[in-house]
A = this chain, B = another copy of it.
Amino acid sequence: MYRTHTCGELRISDVNKTVTLSGWVDASRAFGPMTFVDLRDRYGITQVVFENNEDLNKQAMALGREFVVKVEGTVRERMAKNPNRATGDIEIVATELTVLNVSKTPPFTIKDETDGGDDIRMKYRYLDLRRGAVQKNLFFRSQVAIETRKYLAGQNFIEVETPNLIKSTPEGARDFVVPSRMNAGQFYALPQSPQTFKQLLMVSGFDKYFQIVKCFRDEDLRADRQPEFTQIDCEMSFVTQEDILNTFEGLTKHLFKTCLNIDLPDFPRMTYDEAMSLYGSDKPDVRFGMPFVELTDVAKGKGFPVFDGAELVVAINTERVASQYSNKTINELTEWVKRPQIGAKGLAYVKFEEDGSIKSPLSKFFTEEDFKTWADKCGAKKGDIIFILSGEAEKTRKQLSELRLELGNRLGLRNPSVFKPLWVVDFPLLEWDDDTQRFYAMHHPFTSPKRDQIASMLNGDHETMKNLRADAYDLVLNGVEIGGGSIRIYDRDLQSKNFKLLGMAEEEAESKFGFLLGAFEFGAPPHGGIAFGFDRLCAVMSGSNSIRDFIAFPKNNQGRDVMIDAPSFIEDSQLAELNIDVTVEKV
């Protein structure tokens, strides 16, 4: 037997009990003839004292950090209690010590605040995961999963596992593929999402489906992307958009309440068009204001060539920063928006000083009257600064959105422990791409146009298509897209039309999605769904920017697991069995 209790369990009421504990040596210190060892496990830390036994004491002094030991002893009340520790009232007076395993000196400190850089911690992820701060994240994730299942099962959702070895139908993102040995020359694909399967489950009559499920996308990885990630994937039948928003608003509130003890208010809703014109983003961070104000009509035609040539002149008002933002700060901001990642040509501003004076580099083109008009439009008062960008409308909005977030960061308006959820609704159905001269699905090819637009979608012209709106929605939390979904097409003809609009020939649509088109002919119910990014949800709920902190064994930006050293070269015999060759040299 390795233990009678865990290292987080013993209390003052256990005094005089004979106990056995096992765990890791978190710290040890000699104190005259006594040695104190902090014994750690997942549940806590218990102090063990070695005294009055020279032999045992000697053994205890030889223990290194992270040694795994078993200790027998008696529980005793501590003289100097430690109120910061659940077991801080007691200690174990050891009568026996067994070293279960030794440890080399770890390559970094196993503490919440560690000296280990990212690379070394990833290589030794099993040691990184020993740190309380990292364990906490995985326990949190596990709790969010438990509460998700509890809520959805309580709402009659059934969890159904969909297959991982499916068919490659790349549309948008690239598929990971898996060569089939038994079907020479053919490949499975790993699912980018269980989309078609969950729709088939609706055709089967499962009514309410969910799954916490791994998905895969072979994309070039940015900081916050992983090739495999986890979704809370859901689908419901006989529902409208309203039913889905209510259900998943309920889920989100439940998770915040049970996992963080936070009561979220009802979620506001905003159309995609509003979000774009107010914040230049379909996932606005509404923890703070600074909405966009269009100045195009009042700023053009006054002789300032930059504005005169612009499609859009748009401003945000930044309150109470006039005295705080020196020219130096404003120059910094200007350089910031001119970086290639943002791409603005420059940054105009009007500073409304506390003393009533107005300062702006634009003052040789505009009168004080002009500036006051702008101030009125922007709601700017003494002490505020309005920042202005101009140019091609879509680009300029994106740039100003970035500036708005940067100002929010600088002004401490994006507090990670404040949570402002938002439904963004009424997304466009299709996006036109000038380069490839075709439409792309804004959400995915299975999304339905709004009910009253179905007729115009079946018969409309190019302009009509551009303006179609979908029953498609995103849940945005603190500027992060947590999830998205839509009401789906459930009619074969409409689905075929959509595939056609997306540039898919009839045979291609049939070969890729024939099973779904076929299913729509046998009594498909109206249905819709949503998927939450589970890794991201956990991160945002914890006020973290990094989904990696919530994944036990994440991959790096090259898609590598540096701990196990994968991917790797495989045996020629494996390749031969799979009927494939590698077209590059092994390096």
Interface residue ranges, A against B (CB under 8 Å): 1-3, 6, 22, 24, 40-43, 66-68, 100-104, 106, 124-127, 129-130, 135, 138-139, 142, 145-146, 149, 153, 158-168, 170, 174-190, 196-197, 200-201, 203-207, 214, 216, 218, 220-221, 227-228, 230, 238-240, 490-491, 511, 514-515, 518-526, 551-553, 555, 558-561, 563-571, 574, 576-587
Residues of chain B lying within 8 A (CB to CB) of residue A569: 185-187
A365–chain B nearest beta-carbon distance, Å: 50
Inter-chain pairs besides A129-B206, A146-B149, A165-B566, 7 sampled, C-beta below 8 Å: A2-B526, A66-B523, A165-B559, A165-B567, A182-B559, A188-B567, A579-B584
Which residue of B is nearest A562, CB measured? B515
Which of B3, B552, B583 is in CB contact (< 8 Å) with A201? B552
Q: Contact between A218 and B24 (Cβ–Cβ < 8 Å)? A: no
Residues of chain B lying within 8 A (CB to CB) of residue A561: 163, 165-167
Q: Contact between B175 and A176 (Cβ–Cβ < 8 Å)? A: no
C-alpha gap A179/B406 in the complex (Å): 39
Residues of chain B lying within 8 A (CB to CB) of residue A584: 184-185, 579
A346–chain B nearest beta-carbon distance, Å: 37
C-alpha gap A167/B106 in the complex (Å): 25
C-alpha gap A111/B566 in the complex (Å): 48
A522-B161 in contact given A569-B186, A581-B583 (Cβ < 8 Å): no
10 A-B contact pairs sorted by A residue (CB < 8 Å): A129-B200, A129-B206, A135-B204, A135-B206, A160-B552, A162-B552, A164-B216, A170-B574, A182-B221, A580-B582
C-alpha gap A518/B104 in the complex (Å): 10
C-alpha gap A67/B525 in the complex (Å): 9
Which of A174, A177, A189, A196 has the most chain B CB within a 10 Å cutoff?
A177
Residues of chain B lying within 8 A (CB to CB) of residue A124: 518, 522
Q: Contact between B515 and A204 (Cβ–Cβ < 8 Å)? A: no
C-alpha gap A1/B238 in the complex (Å): 8
Residues of chain B lying within 8 A (CB to CB) of residue A515: 126, 563-565
Q: Contact between A185 and B586 (Cβ–Cβ < 8 Å)? A: yes
Residues of chain B lying within 8 A (CB to CB) of residue A129: 200-201, 204-206
A101-B491 in contact given A164-B164, A206-B135 (Cβ < 8 Å): yes
Which residue of B is nearest A103, CB measured? B523
Which residue of B is nearest A207, CB measured? B42
Q: Contact between A214 and B164 (Cβ–Cβ < 8 Å)? A: yes
Q: Contact between B206 and A42 (Cβ–Cβ < 8 Å)? A: yes
Which of B66, B185, B521, B580 is in CB contact (< 8 Å) with A103? B521
Residues of chain B lying within 8 A (CB to CB) of residue A238: 2-3, 22
Which of B104, B166, B228, B585 is in CB contact (< 8 Å) with A522? B104
C-alpha gap A158/B126 in the complex (Å): 16
A584–chain B nearest beta-carbon distance, Å: 5
Residues of chain B lying within 8 A (CB to CB) of residue A522: 66, 103-104, 106, 124, 126-127
